A and B are shown apart, each in its own frame.
Chain A
Amino acid sequence: MGELLILLYIFVLATLAGKEVISKVPPTLHTPLMSGANAISGIAIIGALVVTGAANAPWVKVLGTAGIVMATINVVGGFMVTDRMLQMFRKR
């Protein structure tokens, strides 16, 4: 139970840190924030890599591989499209 509690601590503190940092984002940047955060949610790729790497059964490997593909689409596409949007935000 000790380990689970540590994980819970990390979860709660990271959520609070996120709230503090993000609450100051101006409305102009709401879409890039969302799309950038969206790319970060592709962090599930770490889980997919771990699971696929250690796959001990065919179905585990299939699910893990599907996870890697989906998460990579999310990560690469998300960061690239956010960058494409932010390029357009200019002040003249």
Chain B
Amino acid sequence: MESTTITQIAYLISAVLFVSGIKQLSSPATARSGNARASLAMLLAIVVTLLDHEILDWTTVVAAVVAGAAIGGILARYIQMTAMPQLVAVFNGFGGGASAAVAAAEFLRAGGSGPALELGVGVTIVLGTLIGAVTFSGSLIAFGKLQGVVTGSPVTFPLQKTLNALLFLGVLLIGASLAHVGVANSVAPVVGMTGLEISGPFFAALVAGALILGVLLVIPIGGADMPVVVSLLNSYSGIAAATTGFVLNNYILIIAGSLVGAAGLILTQLMCKAMNRSLGNVAFGAFGTEGQTARAKTGQRPVRDVDAEQAAMVLAYAGSVAVVPGYGLAVAQAQHELKKVCDLLEDRGVTVRFGVHPVAGRMPGHMNVLLAEADVSYDKLLDLDDINAEFDSTDVVLIVGANDVVNPAARDPDSVIAGMPILDVDKARTVIVMKRSLSPGFAGIDNDLFYMDNTLMFFGDAKDQMSELVKEVREA
């Protein structure tokens, strides 16, 4: 058999391993072996590629792989679990960056003369560069927002959408001139060049435009909408990889890339559904900037506040407790203290479960990772529908750093969060809200839950208050 046939068969095996590996990720019991299987698939694809293709300079290739593996390995091994959203964003950016680099290198290798390329090749090179570069800069901005380097609030300015649309059209026109000789010949005279001269400067403009576009698409998106953005960028990085597969005529690139594209798209849809908002609304809505007027109302209505001792009493003498974690838990890093409280309660015979909203936190499944880190058994984590069926028969709900996802205003058709699926915590007998202050959540609206008769406000930093709670529950 010739080597290309062997390579193609190896790629096929790799594709099967990728698909079955992802399939195994759908159950906590098999997920770890699924991830191992996917990494085996990757290794196989890399090895056969190295064997099949002529490598002119092994030193450079090996050095690059070793450097990348060392950086990635160290980051993965030593990063704090709480920094997971940023890490996922930055890895994602590198994936997109790699695809853009491949497409750009292929453009140069083909002689650097776009319009002279075959149409199909030209289009895919342009798309690969565009999507890869948008993923790269967009992910880095997402990283900056999650890390706190860039403001988490939506950044908006006048005519933002118009500017984005114009830039997008401009980038498309540049891309079209690079990919199609006819477009090139009609656009080139406008900038005083001939169709063949535009390649270099236009390609540079394409890369620059795409990088700026990535930045502009992510900066208007606020912190709590990050799960959507992170999923979407994840999808882009897959599509970018698949596009380079078109450029290089490589099946495994297309298959693996489109699997990631599909995964990211599904997560994006799930996140949007969990907020009852369209993707367009998340991308361009700059949510959380309005509602300034609602803020004024805050604090004018009476609330019942409790201290650690009273909260501990209520929890310790309950039959069942449901904990609702939110981003505030991650910020305060109070997950370990929370676990201690839950352990103490369970020792007393209290049933403890967790209700996790799909968009709680800054990435899909953020709360689940946080609680898993604190050693909470995953079968105690219930998703929206399951926990909502239980609130009727729950004695106490303990809300830690969550706000909009428990706001009954979602049931009011006139509210900005109207129709968003929420955790129906107000159906429980007693609700304890652990929160720094009465300030509104990301949506910028007041939360009626805080003022209900069966709600107790437990103010303070989640970590400090949780430590107090550990002490008090122990003594209760």
Whether A29 touches B31, Cβ cut-off 8 Å, given contacts A18-B261, A46-B252, A78-B91, is yes
Q: Is B221's CB within 8 Å of the partner chain A?
A: no
Q: Which of B49, B102, B259 contacts A17 (CB 8 A)?
A: B259
State how many angstroms separate the Cβ of A28 from the closest Cβ of chain B. 5
Q: Which chain A residues numbered 59 to 78 have a C-beta less than 8 Å away from chain B?
A: 59-61, 63-78
Task: Judge whether A29 and B28 touch: CB under 8 Å.
Answer: yes
Q: When chains A and B are docked, how far (Å) is the Cα of A17 from the Cα of B231? A: 19
| Contact among A24, A32, A80, A87 with B72 in the assembled complex (CB-CB below 8 Å) | A80
Chain B nearest CB from A39 CB (Å) reads 7
Contact B94 A73 (CB under 8 A): yes
A-B contact count (CB 8 A): 387
The answer to whether B358 touches A80, judged by C-beta atoms less than 8 angstroms apart, is no
Number of residues of chain B lying within 8 A (CB) of chain A: 112
Q: Which residues of A contact B55 (CB under 8 A)?
A: 49, 52-53
Whether A34 contacts B264 in the complex (CB less than 8 A), given A11-B254, A79-B42, comes out as: yes
User: Which residues of the other chain, A, contact B263 by a CB distance below 8 angstroms?
Assistant: 18, 22, 33-34, 37
Q: Assess whether B109 is in contact with A82, with CB atoms less than 8 Å apart.
A: no
Say yes or no for B117: interface residue by CB 8 A criterion.
Answer: no
**0/1 string, B82-96, CB within 8 A of A gives 1:** 001001100110111
Please report which residues of chain A, range 1-32, place their CB below 8 angstroms from some CB of chain B when the two chains form the complex. 1, 3-4, 7, 10-11, 14-19, 21-32
Bound Cα distance A60, B76 (Å): 29
A binding-site residues for B, Cβ under 8 Å? 1, 3-4, 7, 10-11, 14-19, 21-57, 59-61, 63-92
**B interface list, Cβ under 8 A from A:** 15, 18-19, 21-23, 25-29, 31-32, 34-36, 38-39, 42, 45-46, 49-50, 53-57, 60-61, 64-65, 67-69, 71-73, 75-77, 79, 81, 84, 87-88, 91-92, 94-99, 101-102, 104-106, 108-109, 120, 132, 230-231, 234, 237-238, 240-242, 244-267, 270, 356, 358, 363-366, 368-369, 372-373, 375, 377-379, 381, 383
20 additional A-B pairs beyond A41-B237, A70-B68, beta carbons within 8 Å, are: A1-B120, A7-B245, A14-B258, A22-B259, A27-B368, A28-B383, A30-B365, A33-B25, A34-B234, A36-B35, A37-B259, A37-B264, A41-B257, A44-B98, A50-B250, A51-B248, A75-B42, A76-B69, A76-B76, A85-B81
11 A–B contacts, CB within 8 A, in A order = A15-B258, A15-B259, A22-B22, A30-B363, A46-B46, A51-B105, A68-B65, A72-B68, A73-B72, A83-B32, A85-B81
Q: What 10 pairs between A and B have smallest CB-CB spacing?
A: A72-B68, A77-B72, A30-B365, A18-B262, A67-B101, A80-B76, A30-B364, A31-B365, A76-B72, A71-B98
